[in-house]
Amino acid sequence: MKKIYLAGIASIITIIAQAQIKQNEFSIGISGGISTFHYSITEGKYRAGGGGSVNLGYLLKITKHWGVGTGAELAIYQSKTIFNEYSDNYSFLSNSIPGGTTEQNLFDFRFSYTDFKEEQKAFYLNFPLFFQLQTKEYSGPYIKVGIKLGIPIKAFRKARYSALKTSGYFPYEGIEYTDLLDHGFGTYPSMTKKYGMKLNCSLSPFAEIGWKWHIYPHRYIYTGIYGEYGVRKIYDTPQGIPLLQYYNDGTIIGNPLWKSSHQRKNNVPIVSSHIHPMAIGVVIRWSFAL
């Protein structure tokens, strides 16, 4: 009798486990639309970028109508800022006259960009945690809400311009130098250069709504629309540096737009808000019961 009792319990556990497994879902999907870094700027033109993600998911069904889930997705975010013209100037203490006084070596560094553009792009590995509710057991509308933890995998910025003019005005001499490239003063041709960026982890609430299609036994297709917005600061506070940095040896190097300030306008940051990852688009997923 004891053996029969234990065998019966084992059979019931097996049946329940198998039934529970068939309710749960594994999915693979893609999404696309606006996938960008959102921020405000004090001048220039901000442009949101397009992007998307590929994702894997697992849904643990608590009942026939709702469950909790998690997964992983690789997402791309991109944005850019454009200036038709950008000019600035700031004081710099050089060593052009060895042993000279501060008055003799202090000059005004001036620069002007034409058709300047900086693009920002990053790949994030996101880990969502969500609740999903569906009105019907098989085909029908669904909604899911949750939050994503994003880990930056690779990030970079690409700066380009069609022309750059620099000059140095020395008040002590009353002369503006415009044709001394060895000293960083002159006209430079168009250039495109790529730089790495360091971003922080993101935390983004998200929501998705759409329709679940029952196509075969234990096989489904989800189609919907989604949106997410980051609530965690992912980039360090602007440092108030100029967009173009001049060095004593005559070298000039472009600084990140996100960290730069307009020196001539009381050091006002070009980017006047925190940087937030944001995405809005459509999603399609293929899902099957395990």
Q: For 30-66, what is each residue's pLDDT tens digit?
A: 999 999 999 999 989 999 999 999 999 999 999 888 9
Decide if pLDDT at 139 tops 90: no
Please report, for residues 192, 193, 239, 260, 282, the alpha-carbon distance to residue 257 in angstroms, rounded to integers and kept in the order given: 15, 13, 11, 5, 30
Q: Does 84 have pLDDT greater than 70?
A: yes
**Predicted model pTM:** 0.86
Task: Please check the confidence at residue 12 and state whether its pLDDT lies above 50.
Answer: no
pLDDT value at residue 135: 86
Q: What's the pLDDT at 132? A: 96
List the chain domain ranges: 26-289
Q: Mean pLDDT, to the nearest integer, of 253-272?
A: 92
What average pLDDT does the structure give for the chain? 89
Q: Cβ neighbours of residue 133 under 8 Å, at least 6 residues apart?
A: 65, 66, 142, 143, 144
**Cα(45)–Cα(184) distance, rounded to whole angstroms?**
28
Residue, of 188 and 289, whose pLDDT is higher: 188
Residue 8 pLDDT: 46
pLDDT at 13: 40
d(CA 148, CA 229): 10
- Position 221 pLDDT exceeds 50: yes
Helix (H, G, I), strand (E, B) or coil at 237: coil
Tell me the per-residue pLDDT of 181-193, one tens digit each, with 9 for 90 and over.
989 999 999 999 9
Q: What angle do CA 233, 234, 239 make, to 5 degrees?
A: 85
* pLDDT-derived band at 277, boundaries 50, 70, 90: very high
